[in-house]
């Protein structure tokens, strides 16, 4: 009887732990996403709240956020016509004369433009590259490639950190030092964010094929 009760309690305990872990896997990502959006909303909304309080005499939650979105949209409209582009060009030229601001502005703009055009100058292809040492491979993204007069390629490869792909390392490597893949950027990012739990089968296939092709030492 005790054995039956013990087995039953263990079964219930395993089921409870399984349900609890399943709940954590849902609640934590959802809670983190909500927290990020709430933080972003409060941060943007807080920028204009002091001005709103001076005008109206009291705080209006959400109004600063809404005004910011409207201002961004109106800026996009202005930047889309000839007059607006000229005006922005004059502003950028004036900003370019300020030593520190010039580098900050140009750097931020180039980064945003790069990742807003993934088919042109953003993540061009997912590759496997040797990092952080010889003999090991990691996921990388080609961000640019150039060729010299002899046709030899040099690739800029961004290597994201797991599980936070917003930071990482930049490698400049030769063509023969990487393994090109057909893995989509989304699938590769999921692998990075999940710490390898969600790994496309092509990663394994490409690595095994590379080992078969490598000369025996």
The pLDDT value recorded for residue 117 is 56
Identify the band that residue 41 occupies on the pLDDT scale cut at 50, 70 and 90.
Answer: confident
Cα 131 from Cα 98, distance rounded (Å): 39
Same domain, 153 and 191: yes
**Widest CA span in the chain:** 87
Same domain, 130 and 100: no
Q: Would 151 be classed as within a structural domain?
A: yes
Q: Would 164 be classed as within a structural domain?
A: yes
Between 201 and 8, the higher pLDDT residue: 201
Q: Would 108 be classed as within a structural domain?
A: yes
Same domain, 182 and 110: no
Identify the band that residue 121 occupies on the pLDDT scale cut at 50, 70 and 90.
Answer: very low
Q: Would 54 be classed as within a structural domain?
A: no
At 132, which CATH number?
Answer: 2.30.30
- Among 13-17, 66-70, 142-146, 152-156, whose mean pLDDT is lowest? 13-17
Same domain, 190 and 147: yes
Same domain, 145 and 194: yes
Average pLDDT score over residue span 175-190? 87
The pLDDT value recorded for residue 190 is 85
What domain range is 68 assigned to? 63-116
Same domain, 204 and 137: yes
Q: Is 167 left (phi over 0), alpha (psi -120 to 50) or beta?
A: beta
Q: How many CB atoms lie within 10 A of CB 129?
A: 19
Same domain, 104 and 137: no
The pLDDT value recorded for residue 116 is 58
Same domain, 111 and 134: no
Q: Would 34 be classed as within a structural domain?
A: no
DSSP run (H or E) holding 139: strand 137-147
Here the tokens at position 69 are 């979105």
The pLDDT value recorded for residue 114 is 58
The pLDDT value recorded for residue 115 is 57
Taking only the tens place, the pLDDT of each residue in 137-173 is: 899 999 888 887 777 889 999 998 888 777 889 999 9
Same domain, 105 and 70: yes
Taking only the tens place, the pLDDT of each residue in 191-215 is: 888 888 888 888 878 777 766 666 5
Same domain, 151 and 181: yes
Same domain, 139 and 173: yes
> With contact defined as beta carbons under 8 Å apart, do 185 and 139 qualify?
no
Between 19 and 192, the higher pLDDT residue: 192
Question: Which of 97, 116, 135 is at the close of a domain?
Answer: 116
The pLDDT value recorded for residue 120 is 47
Confidence check: pLDDT of 38 > 80: yes
Taking only the tens place, the pLDDT of each residue in 130-147 is: 998 888 889 999 988 888
Per the structure, the count of domains in the chain is: 2
Q: How many CB atoms lie within 10 A of CB 185?
A: 14
Same domain, 109 and 129: no
Q: Would 51 be classed as within a structural domain?
A: no
Taking only the tens place, the pLDDT of each residue in 72-118 is: 888 888 878 878 778 878 887 887 777 777 777 776 776 666 555 55
Question: Which of 50, 82, 116 is at the close of a domain?
Answer: 116
Here the tokens at position 70 are 């409207």
The pLDDT value recorded for residue 141 is 92
Nearest of 211, 62, 202 to residue 126 by alpha carbon: 202
Q: Would 78 be classed as within a structural domain?
A: yes
Here the tokens at position 61 are 């939650």
Q: Would 132 be classed as within a structural domain?
A: yes
């Amino acid at each position: 009887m005790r054995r039956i009760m013990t087995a039953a309690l263990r079964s219930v305990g395993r089921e409870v732990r399984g349900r609890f872990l399943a709940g954590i896997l849902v609640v934590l990502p959802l809670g983190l996403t909500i927290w990020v959006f709430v933080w972003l909303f409060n941060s943007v909304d807080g920028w204009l709240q002091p001005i709103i309080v001076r005008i109206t005499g009291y705080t209006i939650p959400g109004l600063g956020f809404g005004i910011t979105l409207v201002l961004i949209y109106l800026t996009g409209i202005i930047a889309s016509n000839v007059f607006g582009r000229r005006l922005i060009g004059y502003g950028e030229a004036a900003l370019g004369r300020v030593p520190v601001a010039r580098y900050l502005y140009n750097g931020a703009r180039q980064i945003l433009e790069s990742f807003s055009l993934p088919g042109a100058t953003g993540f061009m292809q997912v590759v496997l590259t040797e990092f952080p040492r010889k003999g090991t491979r990691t996921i990388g993204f080609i961000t640019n490639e150039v060729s010299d007069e002899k046709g030899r390629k040099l690739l800029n490869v961004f290597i994201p950190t797991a599980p936070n792909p917003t930071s990482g390392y930049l490698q400049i490597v030769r063509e023969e030092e990487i393994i090109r893949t057909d893995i989509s950027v989304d699938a590769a990012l999921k692998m990075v964010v999940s710490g390898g739990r969600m790994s496309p089968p092509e990663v394994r296939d490409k690595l095994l094929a590379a080992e078969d092709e490598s000369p025996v030492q």
